[in-house]
Amino acid sequence: MDDRYVFELVPLPYPYHALEPFIDEKTMMLHHDRHLKTYVDNLNKALAPYPAYHRWSLPMLLKNISALPLSLQTPVRNNGGGVFNHNLFFSIMEPAHGGKPYGNLARAIEKYFGSYDNFAKQLKQSALSVFGSGYAWLVMDKMGRLKMITTHNQDTPLPLGYCPILLIDVWEHAYYLKYNNRRDEYIDAWMNIINWDQAEKNYESCITYKY
């Protein structure tokens, strides 16, 4: 995948039904084929008249949002953020097999959160605390420390200087069909389908490249 204009709809890395029973097939179809596709299309539309930014990667655009022309800032923030967040979100899930963090990330989670159970509890609290639409994140700060943060709408942690490791989407479109207003049940279910291999890779690349 080329991470520059013209952006493409990245295929889901598993079938739509692969996350059942935790996330239903219909939600995954709508979430990927409609919601993400709309962000991709609108990001391309917004960037089309600005060839100067066609060589910028998506993380570059998002990290340097305040350096963009004013008329580009909101569309990139909303649609560029929508593309970045969803590609990361879909890649950080996988069919459940009872996985837990391992390796360097597991050691870092123990160091900064005490234990996996405590980490899971805090992530749930964080995700419940998002008012309206947004995300709860596990990120690495510039000192290499793990932190939990929340963002609203399609904002990303990149302008804040954080490197993303994993995130949970708590927009209603992520869970409403199956869980209705029961966000807490969705979060509990979601903890079963975290792709810890990918989370470990993200952590390693945060350490190597920083953002």
Residues that bind Mn ion (CB under 5 A): 169, 171, 174
Q: How far is the CB of 81 from Mn ion (least distance, A)?
A: 11
Q: How far is the CB of 19 from Mn ion (least distance, A)?
A: 14
Q: How far is the CB of 60 from Mn ion (least distance, A)?
A: 23
Question: What is the DSSP secondary structure assignment for residue 66, as one 8-state letter?
Answer: G
Q: How far is the CB of 82 from Mn ion (least distance, A)?
A: 8
Q: Strand 146-152 to strand 134-140: parallel, antiparallel, or no bridges (unpaired)?
A: antiparallel
| CA dist., res. 68 & res. 74, Å (int) | 10
| CA dist., res. 2 & res. 149, Å (int) | 28
Sheet containing 163-169: give its strands across.
Answer: 146-152, 134-140, 163-169
Q: How far is the CB of 169 from Mn ion (least distance, A)?
A: 4
Among 76, 92, 91, smallest CA distance to 7 is for 76
User: In the complex with Mn ion, which residue's Cβ is closer, 162 or 171?
Assistant: 171
Q: Which residue, judged by CB position, is nearest to Mn ion in the bound state?
A: 169
User: In the complex with Mn ion, which residue's Cβ is closer, 47 or 174?
Assistant: 174
Report how far apart, in Å, the C-alpha atoms of 126 and of each of 9, 88, 142, 169, 196 are: 29, 18, 21, 12, 19
User: In the complex with Mn ion, which residue's Cβ is closer, 94 or 169?
Assistant: 169
Q: How far is the CB of 47 from Mn ion (least distance, A)?
A: 21
Among 115, 104, 93, smallest CA distance to 144 is for 104
User: In the complex with Mn ion, which residue's Cβ is closer, 155 or 169?
Assistant: 169
Q: Strand, coil or helix: what is 52?
A: helix
For residue 109 the two structure tokens come to 């989670």
User: In the complex with Mn ion, which residue's Cβ is closer, 106 or 177?
Assistant: 177
User: In the complex with Mn ion, which residue's Cβ is closer, 61 or 168?
Assistant: 168
Q: Strand, coil or helix: what is 33?
A: helix
